[in-house]
Amino acid sequence: MAGVVTAVCLSSEHKFSKQAVPVIRLVAGLGIEGDAHKGVTVQHLFRIRQDPTQPNLRQVHLMHEELHDELRAAGFSISAGAMGENLVTRGIDLLALPTAARLHIGSTAVIEVTGLRNPCSQLDNYQSGLTAAVLDRDAEGKLIRKAGVMAIVLIGGEVRAGDSIRVELPVEPYRALVPV
């Protein structure tokens, strides 16, 4: 499985949306240089209130551009970074990846998928109905969270739009993604 980065985004403040930028710098064990969610321990404000000592499993938020396409077709106005994502990808079924899948991005960076992003009500604050639009049900009625995946940085490096992404699957048995 291979794909491409279509946009990179960050925000130095804890805002809902992130700004598309030409390049981001991933830092091993921390996240994205200059992003509010960079850190060894959890940086998500809600999770800090629960337990500020939790490890930061949400250093990088990835979203597939195919979801952007789907949302635009449904009438939403969506651009890169609008829903808080750091990396927008194309060509990889992010939601089908197992926990601990590694993504080799560009010439040096490696991140490890930790779990799913759990959509929250802030999506509806951004655009009415957006939360429901990123949730679905499979044939058995199981909830599908489509708002992207979270990852940690294993090997740092610069990442920009146009960089290739190569997926390295973990040793089987695979563990399905759960919200982190």
Query: What is the tens place of the pLDDT at every residue in 129-146?
Result: 999 999 999 999 999 999
21: tokens are 């930028």
Flag whether 97 is in a domain. yes
Flag whether 178 is in a domain. no
How many domains does one find in the chain? 1
**Rounded-to-10 torsion of CA 4, 113, 102, 39:** 100
Q: Which amino acid is at 140?
A: E
Flag whether 49 is in a domain. yes
* Mean pLDDT of the chain, nearest integer: 95
Flag whether 41 is in a domain. yes
Check pLDDT > 90 for residue 102: yes
Where b means 16+ CB within 10 Å and e means fewer, 33-69 reads eebbbbbeebbbeebeeeeeeeebbbbbbbbbbbbbe
The tens digit of pLDDT for each residue in 8-52 reads 999 999 999 999 999 999 999 999 999 999 999 988 877 788 888
Q: How confident is the model at residue 150 (pLDDT cuts 50, 70, 90)?
A: very high
Q: What is the pLDDT at residue 6? A: 98
Report the 10 Å Cβ neighbour count for 150: 24
pTM confidence score? 0.95
**Domain of 101?**
2-168
